Amino acid sequence: MRSVIAGTGSSLPKRRVDNEELAQQVDTSDQWIVERTGIRSRYIAGEGETTATLATEAARLALENAGISASEVDLIVLATATPDQTFPSSATKVQAALGIDDCVAFDVHAVCTGFLYAVTVADSMLRAGTGRTALVIGAETFSRLLDWEDRTTCVLFGDGAGALVLRAEDGDRGILATKLHADGRHNDLLFVDGGPSSTGTVGKLRMKGREVFRHAVVNLAEVMNEVLDKAGLTSGDVDWVVPHQANARILDATAKKLSLPSGKVVVTVDKHANTSAASVPLALDTAVKDGRIKRGDIVVLEAMGGGFTWGAAVLRY
C-alpha cells in the first residue's frame, strides 16, 4: 500500500508585484534582485485573501484534477507558518469551506520544510489505515511577516498555496521514501522576532542570508542522497527534482553538488519568489500541468527552512 498522488492544484493571490514595482517602495532594483536571487516577481495577498482562502482554492483544484469529491476526504494536513488565527487550525477552515462535515484536520508548522513534513505525516497515516484519501496543502501569506524596510529579506518572499490529493493504493506508484531532519541550534539564523507566548505580537522575519545559504546547500544535498538511498535509488534514476524555491543560487549550487543536470530541476522562484511551505507544491503543480512531470517519473521533493528543518521525499508519479 502506497500513497499515490491523484491530483495537484495551486492558487495565487490576484496581485502580481514585479521587481520594478517593488523598487518604487524599497531601496532596491530589478538588477540587484535578479543577480542575487533569480526572482523577477511575486504575488502578494490583498484584502480578503488569507492562508485559508488560498489553501481552499488550491485544494478545490487538486480535488477537481483528481476527479475526487470533497466528501471522500478523510484527512487534511495543512503546512503553514502563517495561519489565519493562532487557533483553530487553518486546516479546519479549509474543511468547512469545502463542505466536509467530518474528517481529521490539522496544521503542521515547519516553515519552508512544512510541506515535506505534511506529506510524511499524511503518508504515514494513510499507510496506517487512518483513511484512504488525504489533502496535503502548503499555504502561506508570508508578506504579512515581512519588514518592508529590510531590502535583504522583503524582496525574497511571496504568497500562495499548493495542494496534493493522496490516495492509498496498491501498486508501484506513490511515495517511496521520506526523510526529515531538524536542528534547533540554528534558531537565530532564520526566525520571526515575535509570537503570542514570547512577545504577544506577530513579529517580523529576520534572516542571516549567507549562513542560511551555506547550510542549505549542504543539507539539501545530503538529505536527497539519504532519501534516494532509503528508496534503493541513485541520482541517475531521478527524472525531476522539485526543490523549495528559496533562491536560484541555492538551486544551482545544490544541483552541482549532486552532479544533477540543471534541466532536471523544476524552477519557479523567478515567478513566485519564496512562498515558504507553498513553494514545493506550487512548483510541482506547475511542472505537472505543463507536462514536464509524467506518470511513472521518479520525482524528488526537497526543502529546508527555519529551525533549521529540512527534508526530502522520493516518489514515482
Domain boundary pick from 147, 169, 191: 169
Q: Which residues are catalytic?
A: 112, 244, 274
Same domain for 161 and 196, yes or no, is no
Same domain for 199 and 308, yes or no, is yes
Same domain for 25 and 118, yes or no, is yes
Question: What pLDDT is recorded for position 255?
Answer: 86
Same domain for 102 and 209, yes or no, is no
The structure's pTM equals 0.97
Same domain for 178 and 258, yes or no, is yes
Q: Which residues contact 246 (CB under 8 A, 6 or more apart)?
A: 112, 156, 216, 269, 274, 279, 304
Question: What pLDDT is recorded for position 20?
Answer: 96
**Set of cell numbers at residue 314:** 522520493
Domain boundary pick from 169, 198, 223: 169
Q: Give the residues across from 190 on adjacent strands.
A: 207
Q: Give the residues across from 5 on adjacent strands.
A: 166
Same domain for 178 and 133, yes or no, is no
Same domain for 111 and 184, yes or no, is no
Same domain for 32 and 139, yes or no, is yes
Same domain for 164 and 198, yes or no, is no
Question: What pLDDT is recorded for position 34?
Answer: 96
Question: What pLDDT is recorded for position 100?
Answer: 98
Question: What pLDDT is recorded for position 262?
Answer: 87
What is the span of the domain harbouring residue 308?
174-316
Number of structural domains, the chain? 2
Indicate which CATH number applies to the domain containing 143.
3.40.47.10
Question: What pLDDT is recorded for position 256?
Answer: 85
Same domain for 226 and 145, yes or no, is no
Residue ranges, the chain, pLDDT below 70: none
C-beta atoms surrounding 297 within 10 Å: 15
Same domain for 15 and 164, yes or no, is yes
Domain boundary pick from 169, 189, 204: 169
